[in-house]
Structure 1
């Protein structure tokens, strides 16, 4: 599997998300088993956030990695806009670290833009990195104009990654954002890489074109969707699954190389954007 380099750390290009995990005690064992299966299959990244279940996802992830060597897991968490101030961020991060059961996260993201001045948020993210509570910081749900504004700040270019929605039916970031990030050596993290809720996607799991490509590779539709997302360098996909076999299959998608014919077929069914589109967010 190809790797993505974030702030000097090399991680496999497919990791795991944790949105909607940790909320149901009856599902806890299955969710923990799914995380273990993903790690056993070769994943390293686990993406979570204080927002997910108001901390429940971080608690679930903490339970799952309790007996796993810290250097075997790359942890990403996120701070809510309401907590992204000099007065609140450290307390917020400390709470996340406690739920996760670790002393630091590998990457701490500003979840989306809120009312706190961007310069204040960035300076506090940088301070917490220097304090050793996170190895690196980044942003999420930032569009190209947000990144350009960020880069004008004294510490702005120290951002280590940007996480946005990206999948075959949501390709708006390809028009200008991905190119800008490549030019500025800013890795891209794709959330909802196998599709978003019905309001945004086109029922990708039912699409005949994707089914055709999947048959060519003796793979699942979800594996093809993931292989498509990471077809370019420096893109990390973080699919979520609470099923152990599905979680492992997701990671193995990193071993699939789509051909030019595959990509042409998918491009015809899901055309790339021809103009700037509003950033898709969840």
Structure 2
């Protein structure tokens, strides 16, 4: 439960720190350092977040060796295409002050470019510069098309997923093909704290609604990357391994699905 084995054989921590909107002015460094001190060993950033410099600085400043940190970044829509993806990867490495990534992802499926972009990711994987490769925000049809036009099955698909967006079809497909799912916005930007069913289950376990929402994902086999820059919340989001939800509690949370997306589809931004 503390880790999920990817189709490359690599074990990826099941809980990571997401740093979307964390500013590259000291804020992201403090968040990453706090997370690493708490026990996190996975950090998820992206070229588009404009904070890779700060993430890299924090990792260097921490007392956790780079080899013990699972570091993810992503290629943005405007960087896609074979040569430009390779160039974008090099720029990310430079900003992060590392010579490899544990996971490199396509941020959005830009229709005219994602197959070509993935071929660049395959080269990075074959060259050993990205230890695993994958995608974000791909639906089943896009995954099927990608797999028909590539040689390496994506290790991971990172998608919006939370109690109001269960992504059942995608989860079933991913498990069938050995693709790890990872949830962004898993706590609905804090909105899970207002869901009565999660509050009630949390009361039973002496946990917050946020912790219940995150634990639910882990027990479904889904990795999570909750975002916070608050050290107390960063610690709370990691404190998920000393309790277990019952089958009935899992079913109740599954029943909250509304197929409700909170995030905007950005695949059109080329």
Distance, in Å, in 1 between the alignment partners of 2:188 and 2:14 is: 17
Q: SS in structure 1 opposite 2:223?
A: strand
1:144 aligns with 2:131: no
Structure 1 residues 196 and 37, CA gap change in structure 2 (3 angstroms): closer
CA contact (8 A) 2:188 2:262 kept: no
Q: Distance in 2 between matches of 1:227 and 1:43?
A: 15
**Contact 2:13–2:70, Cα closer than 8 Å, also in 1:** no
Q: Does residue 51 of the first structure (1) align with residue 48 of the second (2)?
A: yes
How does 1:1-282 map onto structure 2 within 5 Å?
Answer: 1-6=1-6, 7-23=8-24, 25=25, 28=26, 31-52=28-49, 55=50, 57-67=51-61, 68-155=64-151, 157-171=152-166, 173-174=167-168, 176-196=169-189, 203-233=191-221, 235-268=222-255, 270-271=256-257, 281=264
- TM-score, scaled to structure 1: 0.85
Indicate how the Cα distance of structure 1 residues 254 and 102 shifts in structure 2: closer, same or farther if over 3 A, else same. Answer: same
| Aligned 8 A contact 1:34 1:245 in 2 | no
Gaps of 5+ in 1: 198-202
8 A Cα contact 2:159 2:183, kept in partner: yes
| Unmatched segments (≥5 aa) in structure 2 | 266-270
Residues 139 and 226 of structure 1: CA distance in aligned 2, closer, same or farther (over 3 Å): same
Q: 1:6-55, CA deviations, whole angstroms, 9 ceiling, x for partnerless residues?
A: 222213211110100124x3xx25x4333233223332111110001xx2
Distance between the aligned counterparts of 1:278 and 1:223, measured in 2? 20
**Misfit runs of 4+, over 6 Å:** 277-280
**Residue in structure 1 matched with residue 268 of structure 2 by the alignment:** none
Greater RCO, 1 or 2 (C-alpha within 8 Å, sep 6+): 1
May I ask how many residue pairs the two structures share in their alignment? 262
Aligned counterparts of 1:134 and 1:271: Cα–Cα separation in 2: 35
